């Protein structure tokens, strides 16, 4: 019995549409361990998908209590100051496609299309969002977690060998002083309102303190000590979160290594993602070409309270 395959465009498109229904759930379930932004910043997807801007308000209190007389007519009053903020939302896209020959072969052999192309498209979207969240995009006016202009920038103390600021040339005590200096600076600089709970380090520096024992004998490393013995942990009883992040090796002033300390909380910072990445219906783009477009809408990273963040360069 001879098997006949009709490879006209309408049938090929219908086949692709039916396959897309199986491919997409598989792709959306995939995990991408190299993507960093979901664990580093809170992500807000609550805004309507097609909103052009995200508007929000910050509120501050003015006024304080004081001593008054029982017959006083001038009782102090508290006032609230509101500031309006707007974040532009932009659209980006990435998709995948097939030609008539690819679809025809799959039909002929009775094979399902694999999810590799769709998976690659979604990974590309995640990498794009990751880059914007961490480094921003000057063309869109976005700043990232690692280079926000509103965050205070400091220089590591020149206490290392030969006056060096680099951690590789410092003692454990001098490195601890750098870390706690940042944490204390956030706490005191905000009138004891803000406290960082997360530390981001270049991989070289994180591995350096992660392999360096405190006294050369104890199994406890300098990284273990920093996580458990710092001003944040002393104040809250919770362990400091420390992550290694690519791009911090040259993110500081003069392309120096940068440390980032911040409070990971939606009230401090968030990434606006009104429309997470999704695929749209397949369509025919040429005589023998078929495309599945994908798109997402991104508003960039908003650091609402820069006082809860600090950079330390030259480590």
Same domain, 128 and 275: yes
Instruction: Report helix, strand or coil for 169.
Output: helix
Is position 205 within any domain?
yes
Nearest of 234, 154, 200, 197 to residue 308 by alpha carbon: 197
Same domain, 25 and 126: yes
Is position 61 within any domain?
no
Is position 312 within any domain?
no
Is position 235 within any domain?
yes
Same domain, 95 and 177: no
Nearest of 224, 173, 209, 195 to residue 309 by alpha carbon: 195
Q: For residue 288, what is the domain's CATH number?
A: 3.30.2400
Model pLDDT, residue 223: 94
Same domain, 164 and 262: yes
Same domain, 277 and 133: yes
| pTM as predicted | 0.85
Q: Going edge to edge, which strands form the sheet with 241-244? A: 152-155, 309-313, 258-262, 198-201, 241-244
Same domain, 183 and 255: yes
Same domain, 13 and 137: yes
Model pLDDT, residue 59: 55
Is position 287 within any domain?
yes
CA torsion sign for 111, 114, 118, 121 is: negative
Is position 230 within any domain?
yes
Same domain, 134 and 226: no
Is position 231 within any domain?
yes
Is position 79 within any domain?
no
Cα separation, 187 vs 194, whole angstroms: 5
77 Cβ neighbours under 8 A, 6+ residues apart: 63
Backbone φ, ψ for residue 59 (5° rounding): -120, 135
β pairing state of 300-303 and 269-272 = antiparallel
Model pLDDT, residue 82: 66
Can you list the positions of beta strands (E) in the chain?
A: 43-44, 53-62, 79-88, 90-93, 96-99, 152-155, 198-201, 241-244, 258-262, 269-272, 275-279, 283-286, 289-292, 294-298, 300-303, 309-313
Counted domains in the chain: 2
CA dihedral of 112, 116, 122, 126, whole degrees rounded to 10: 150
Same domain, 242 and 190: yes
Same domain, 136 and 278: yes
Same domain, 106 and 202: no
Nearest of 196, 220, 185, 221 to residue 206 by alpha carbon: 221
Tokens of 88: 């532009």
Cα separation, 142 vs 301, whole angstroms: 7
Can you give the residue range of the structural domain that contains 92?
9-53+87-143+270-303
Model pLDDT, residue 2: 43
Same domain, 206 and 250: yes
Tens digit of each residue's pLDDT, the chain (315 residues):
444 445 578 888 898 999 998 888 888 887 777 899 999 999 999 989 999 988 776 555 567 788 787 777 788 887 766 676 678 999 999 999 999 988 888 887 777 788 889 999 999 999 999 999 999 999 999 999 999 999 999 999 999 999 999 999 999 999 999 999 999 999 888 888 889 999 999 999 999 999 888 776 678 899 999 999 888 998 889 999 999 998 999 999 999 999 999 999 999 999 999 999 999 999 999 988 999 999 999 998 999 889 999 999 999
113, containing H or E segment: none
């Amino acid at each position: 019995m001879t098997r006949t395959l009709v490879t006209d465009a309408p049938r090929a498109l219908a086949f692709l549409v039916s396959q897309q229904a199986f491919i997409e759930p598989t792709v959306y379930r995939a995990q991408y361990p190299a993507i960093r932004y979901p664990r580093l910043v809170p992500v807000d997807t609550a805004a309507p998908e097609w909103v052009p801007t995200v508007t929000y308000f910050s509120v501050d209190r003015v006024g304080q209590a004081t001593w008054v007389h029982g017959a006083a007519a001038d009782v102090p009053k508290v006032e609230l100051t509101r500031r309006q903020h707007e974040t532009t939302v932009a659209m980006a896209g990435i998709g995948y496609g097939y030609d008539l020959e690819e679809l025809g072969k799959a039909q002929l052999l009775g094979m399902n299309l694999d999810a590799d192309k769709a998976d690659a498209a979604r990974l590309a979207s995640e990498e794009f969002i990751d880059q914007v969240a961490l480094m921003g995009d000057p063309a869109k006016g976005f700043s990232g977690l690692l280079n926000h202009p509103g965050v205070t920038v400091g220089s590591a103390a020149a206490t290392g060998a030969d006056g060096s600021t680099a951690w590789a040339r410092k003692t454990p005590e001098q490195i601890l002083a750098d870390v706690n200096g940042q944490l204390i600076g956030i706490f005191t600089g905000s009138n004891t309102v803000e406290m960082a709970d997360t530390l981001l380090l270049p991989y070289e520096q994180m591995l350096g303190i992660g392999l360096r024992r405190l006294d050369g004998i104890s199994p406890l490393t300098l990284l273990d000590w920093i996580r458990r013995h710092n001003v944040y942990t002393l104040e809250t009883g919770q362990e400091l979160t420390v992550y290694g992040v690519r791009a911090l090796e040259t993110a500081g002033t003069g392309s120096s290594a940068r440390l980032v300390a911040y409070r990971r909380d939606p009230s401090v910072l968030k990434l606006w993602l009104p429309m997470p990445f999704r695929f749209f219906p397949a369509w025919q783009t040429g005589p023998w070409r078929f495309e599945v477009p994908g798109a997402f809408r991104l508003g960039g990273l908003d650091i609402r309270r820069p006082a809860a963040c600090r950079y330390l360069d030259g480590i």
